Every structure is written in C-alpha cells, then in structure tokens.
A and B are shown apart, each in its own frame.
Chain A
C-alpha cells in the first residue's frame, strides 16, 4: 500500500523527520515507509521506545485524559483499562495499516470507530464475566475505549502509510505508553487515597486515608505533577543534547 502516497504521506514524512531531528541522528530516523526493504530491528526498537517515552499518548500528547482520570483510582481498574486499550490498539493498528488508504477520507473515522467497537465489545463481555466487580467500577469507560483518541490519532498520522510490522509495533508502543501512565497514576492514587495497593492494605497504612487523591480534582493534580516531571526530564535531556552538540561543533 506504499504506492498510495499523497499529501498525507508527505505530511507524515515531514513529521517523522522533525521527530527524528528531535530524538536522534537522521540515519536512525523511524520512517514508516522504508521503501524497498523492511525495517531493521533497531528501527523497530526505536519506534517502541518512542511511543512509550517521547511521544507518550497520555503524558506528552495529552490524549485520552478522561478515561485516565476517571479510572485510575485503583490499580485493578487501571490494569483492566490498560489491558483492554493495549489489545484494541494492536488490533486496530493491524486493521488501519491494511485498509486506511483504501477507504475514502470522509468515511475513515466512522469506519475505524465501528471496527474498534467490534473489537471492544467481546473484550467488554470477557471482562464482565472474568472480573465483574472491576468492570463495574470502570463502568462506561470500558466500552468507551472504542472512541479512544489514541488510535484515531495514530491512524491519521502513522498507520496510513506504514507497513504492517512498524504499525503494529507503534500501536503496541502507544498501548504500553498508555498503560505506563495509567498504572503510575493509579498506583499513586490508590496508595495515597486509601493506603492500599491492588485491593490489599499496605503494611503500616491500615488507617491511612487521604480521600482527596481519589477525587477527580486530586487525579488532575497527580496527573499534572506527572506531566510536569516528564517535561522536566525532557527539557533536561534536550539541554544536555544541545550542550554535547555544541561541544562537537567546537
């Protein structure tokens, strides 16, 4: 499907090269359309790392904040949503890399959402039978994975002209990035909010309760602090890279 290059292709290529400039040298750039031969293993690894860190869907691109804030009150909830999202993202990356450029532009979002709903529905039923309590407390945000912002954004910017393997790797990386964010947040909030972790009381925290952490406002504060830490680390790293680049020029 690499023949179907258009404006979208160029846009994506530009974006990718900009990304490559920000993250590393040009020859290590992660290009979705490695013309001719397939992508090398190191490129795929860079793709995986990029989705989790530099382009983390929640902590850097601020996608899918509503489910993250609402669900991340306990680790069980967070794990369930992270798992479902990861599976759906991988499946969707396969589908959208295969069909994205073959469907007319005005139908893409609607059709992809329909396909995602077809994936999410059995997963919802599965989690309703396997862990009914957790599924109930995740509530509406479990079926709402179907209208998740992450895979629509990925389909738009990446899958359209990517080969199957890079698309799947990128989908998995985004899923893992989402999982990392929601698991971090839910660990922080569950420990602070109720003195428990994974539903078990932590030693020495029997009567501990700071219910503010479990409220939406507390979730926003925790997320804001996480994002601040990530931005701080990114800026530090960029400063270091600029410094070393300056030294090389001298």
Chain B
C-alpha cells in the first residue's frame, strides 16, 4: 500500500485557508495600529511595503512556474505583516523587501508552497535579516512620532532594550505599564503585551491557535527566569519572570509564530514537547548566544522537529493501547 502525505494542516474543517488567514489578519490589525501609534507613518509605510512585496513575490513565482495562483488565500499578506511587525522602525525601506523575498521565494515556495514549508517563512526571514545585517536589526528607536518617513533614522536609535539590560544583569529602566502598553524600545509590532494577549485570545476563540505550545513555551522560560533570575536579587523573582516574559518579542513569537499550523505539531503531547524545547533553547540562546533575542533562533531550530514529535506522541499512544484520538 502506498501512503501519500498531503500538505499540512491535516485537519478537516469547514473553514478554508482564506478564512483562517483572514482571521489571522484581523488579529494582527491591533499590532499594526500600535505600530502606527508609536512610530507614525514610517511604521505603516514599512508594513505596507512588506505586504505588497510578499504578494508580489508570491504572484511572480506562481506565474513563472505555472502553478495555481495562491495570492488570493492571503497567506502572503499575513507573512508580510508578521515580518514587518518584527522589524525595528528604523530599518531602511528595502529591508522588508529582502525579508519578503527570503520568506516567500526561498523558505515557502522552493519548499513546495503553502503547507509544505518546513520552516515558518516569516520567522526564517527575520533570522536571515538578523544574522545578515546584525547592526541594523539590533538598534531600536524609542517610540516617537518624529521618525522621518523616507529619510535615514540616525538620531533616534538606541541600543538599550530590556533584553540588553537583562543580559548585563541590570534592572531594566522600563516600568510594568510601559511593558504592557509597549511604549519601550523594541520591534514595531511586538512590544504591546496587553494588545498581543487580547489578539491571541481572539485567535484562541476562533480555534486558530492552541494553548499547549504557548503555555509550554512561556512556562519554560518563566520557570528558568524564576530559578535563575537575571535581574538583581533586590528586585525579587516575580520581577525577573515578568521582565523575561515581556521583553523582546517573546510573547508575539510564542503566540503568533510558534502556533503556525503548517510548521507545528498537531498532537497534544507533541505540542507540549515542542513548546518546552522552544523555551529551553530560548533561555540558552538568550543567556549564552550572540544575539539578544534568542526566541527567533530557538523556534527556527525546533521547527523541523514538529513531525518527529508527532510521531513520538503517536508511539506513546499506541504503547498505552489507546485509540488515536488527537482532537477532542
């Protein structure tokens, strides 16, 4: 007998990809709004460039290779918005174009198109931009509307983020309110913790994301922050946990990127193990790695393990003699 594995997600559902991606876009709108509020027209321009270039690359590739046109399913738009959300507002205007090219052409289409990609395209694009132009990707502006729309952004950049303070063992110079509202130096759309949580609740209500991956991911990071705090001892352990969880883009990555249905596992055990692996690697890379935000690299490293983890979950189930009922 010949078994053919179709492209994931392997779940029958009345909805189709367009509706899923439309929901995803609705959930991403608050991030775009926050980016516009904090960084003005510059941020909106970068997001627009990212969306349009993602769509354009998708269209050109499917056109050249005579494939079914997939620009209508909105997945390229979602990829574009997620890439832009994870950029600092001071990047040059061609930056999202480079990211979109890498995401759509190399990571998504060359691996076979939507659902067949091993790596999350937006995530791979961010990692590609980070390792290729580390100087541009590691300086962040403080939220201010004074960013010039088309010019260079020399005067507004700062190297000091919550992550860099944590790395030096200092108490970050940011209040909890600023952390929750996102008015701190960081990526355009991934700082406002409260907004991200509300958008994620909407996605969870629409059953687009699962709870296992984010809970295991964030829980592992929180556990390590609690046991080995990076803030000074006088600040107390709750502060260490909060700063570790709400710094960088961790919340956005755990809720919006780790839960990607195409690259994540589908069994409950697989999802929990996937999240724990992500969390462990995040902690290790944040502490010992070169780049401050380890969550991107951690998730990219764990992405290819989603299929083996599902297989492991299946084996464990069979050993217990239970039926294979993943969806309850």
B106 and A211 within 8 A (CB): no
Query: Which chain A residues border B128 with CB–CB below 8 Å?
Result: 212
Q: Please, which residue of chain B has its CB at the minimum distance from the CB of A215? A: B131
A217 to B102, CA, bound (A): 13
Residue among A210, A215, A221 making CB contact with B106, cutoff 8 Å: A221
Q: Which residues of B contact A211 (CB under 8 A)?
A: 131-133
CB contacts (< 8 Å) of A210 on chain B: these are 132
Query: A215–B133 Cα gap in the complex (Å)?
Result: 12
Question: Which A residue's beta carbon lies closest to that of B128?
Answer: A212
A203-216 near B? 1/0 per residue, CB < 8 Å:
00000001110010
Q: Roughly how many angstroms separate A210 CA and B128 CA in the complex, as a whole number?
A: 11
Which residue of B is nearest A221, CB measured? B106
By beta carbon, the residue of chain A nearest B133 is A211
* CB pair B106 A212 closer than 8 Å: no
With both beta carbons as reference points, the residue of chain A lying nearest to B132 in the complex is identified as: A212
Question: From residue B53, how far is it (CB to closest CB) to chain A in Å?
Answer: 18
Count chain B CB atoms within 10 A of each CB in A210, A212, A215, A221 and give the residue with the most. A212
Output the least CB separation between A134 and chain B (Å).
Answer: 26
A110 to B7, CA, bound (A): 46
CA of A145 to CA of B86, assembled, Å: 44
Contacts of B131 in A (CB 8 A): 211-212, 215, 217
Q: Which of B109-168 contact A (CB under 8 A)?
A: 128, 131-133
| Bound complex: CA A212 to CA B133 (Å) | 8
The distance in angstroms between the C-alpha atoms of A217 and B119, with both chains bound, is 14
- CB-defined interface of B71-95 with A at 8 Å, one 1/0 digit per residue? 0000000000000000000000000
**Within 8 Å CB of A215, what residues of B?**
131
B110 → chain A closest CB, angstroms: 9
Q: Which of chain B's residues has its CB closest to A217's CB?
A: B131
A210 to B136 CA separation, bound complex (whole angstroms):
13
Q: How far is the CA of A221 from the CA of B132 in the complex (A)?
A: 14
Q: Report the bound CA distance from A217 to B128 in whole Å.
A: 9
Q: Name the residue on B nearest A218 (C-beta).
A: B132
Q: How far is the CA of A210 from the CA of B98 in the complex (A)?
A: 11
CB distance from B136 to the nearest CB of A (A): 12
Q: Which of B285-321 contact A (CB under 8 A)?
A: none
In the bound complex, what is the Cα–Cα distance between A215 and B106 (angstroms)?
17
Q: Can you give 10 contacting A-B residue pairs, CB < 8 Å?
A: A210-B132, A211-B131, A211-B132, A211-B133, A212-B128, A212-B131, A212-B132, A215-B131, A217-B131, A221-B106
Show the binding face of B for A, using Cβ within 8 Å.
Answer: 106, 128, 131-133
Q: A211-B132, A212-B128, A212-B131 are in contact. List 7 more A-B contacts (CB 8 A).
A: A210-B132, A211-B131, A211-B133, A212-B132, A215-B131, A217-B131, A221-B106
Q: Which 10 A-B pairs have the closest CB atoms?
A: A212-B132, A211-B132, A215-B131, A212-B128, A212-B131, A210-B132, A221-B106, A217-B131, A211-B133, A211-B131
